[in-house]
Amino acid sequence: EDIIQSGRKRPAKAAMWFSETADIWGDNDGSFTAGKRTLYSAIIHQGTPLDFVIEGGNLKNYRVLFLADAHVSRRDSEAIAAWVKAGGTLFATAGAGMFDELNQPNTVLRGVLGVSPAGLDAPASSFVGMVKQELPFAAPVDEIAGEPVSTPVYGVRSRVKLAGAKVQLQFKSGSPALTLHTHGRGQAHYAAFLPGLTYFAPGTPKVPVDRGTTAQASAHLIPTRFDARITKLLQFANTTAANPVKCSELLVEANIIDSPKGSVVILSNWSGGPVKNLEVTLPADLTNKKLTTATGTAIQKDGNKVTLNLNIAEALILR
């Protein structure tokens, strides 16, 4: 407790954008809210720690920025553009960055992304508000072409015209599904769909909604099967914004809290069951510190490698 109370989460190298401008224009209405929540989960599942950056925030310490808001102020658009030009990587999802705070065309971010909007499709049959409740029954709004099978997308599909960006993936309907554009020393990805919903689709079974109190109730289901294509798509962030703590199980989230009195590595288990012989690799600055655990569970330590059995959560205390 003495470390937690006086400590702060170690800053990440990747961030997700949040703004009052988006709130005013209702950018998180409809399927976009579920899309943003699931995108957050999908990112941290890849071992990429994620901070939240609010409107007017400083981007200089970040290498990757995820943008899901359709409206971004002119001031912040200029800041994001300068950050990308200096070497940052922007990843925008369906409709993101297309308008400014006055709901006028956002020429700055359209230029960074290298696309311009041609339409935004959000049919009622594909709406997802509550992921476990509605995603299993949502009709795909389109599919990303691929072999041997295509990949369905849900909630929203953005139709764009290329303005310098290159197509990386294409919808079966013919429009770009994923583009990449170079801007200065940086680059910008534009996903014309909500990747988080596609990522979660395999892990949300089509079962009756059940808010019971048993472990078998659908309300207590923890999805553990995810779309492999989206997993691969999001791994780019881990090359430049990787977690300083490495876990042998991808679905174990690790965060570091630092204080003058020591550090705590918090392990959260999202795998749906106990993980035996979890191997945790500590960063160099924590390797030689005295290690204990919050629960008193047995551990084995060999250099910077720590092995333990993880149930739901654990805290590695390093002083």
pLDDT single digits (tens) 59-115? 999 999 999 999 999 999 999 999 999 999 999 999 999 999 999 999 999 999 999
The backbone torsions φ and ψ at residue 135, rounded to the nearest 5 degrees and listed phi first, read: -60, -40
- As a whole-number percent, the residues of the chain with pLDDT over 90 amount to 87
- Local confidence band at 316 (pLDDT 50, 70, 90 cut-offs): very high
The SS3 of residue 252 is strand
Instruction: Find out whether 65 and 79 touch, Cβ atoms under 8 Å.
Output: no
- As a whole-number percent, the residues of the chain with pLDDT over 70 amount to 100
- Local confidence band at 219 (pLDDT 50, 70, 90 cut-offs): confident
Higher pLDDT, 284 or 242: 284
* Mean pLDDT, all residues of the chain: 94
Residue 219 structure tokens = 């309300």
What is the Cα–Cα distance from 77 to 168, expressed in whole angstroms? 24
Q: Where are the alpha helices (DSSP H) in 168-218?
A: 195-200
Residue 304 structure tokens = 């910077």
Q: Is the pLDDT of residue 117 over 80?
A: yes
Cis peptide bond N-terminal to 49, omega within 30: no
Of 240, 269, 232, 235, nearest to 254 by C-alpha is 269
What is the Cα–Cα distance from 186 to 188, expressed in whole angstroms? 7
Q: What average pLDDT score do residues 306-314 get?
A: 96
- Local confidence band at 140 (pLDDT 50, 70, 90 cut-offs): very high
Cα–Cα distance list, 60 to 22, 63, 130, 142, 230 (Å)? 22, 8, 35, 37, 27
The backbone torsions φ and ψ at residue 275, rounded to the nearest 5 degrees and listed phi first, read: -110, 115
Q: Is the pLDDT of residue 216 over 80?
A: no
Q: Is the pLDDT of residue 238 over 90?
A: no
Q: Is the pLDDT of residue 215 over 80?
A: no
Whose tokens are 């912040």? That residue is 76
- Local confidence band at 146 (pLDDT 50, 70, 90 cut-offs): confident
**CB neighbours of residue 3 within 10 Å:** 18
Per-residue pLDDT, 190: 98
Per-residue pLDDT, 278: 96
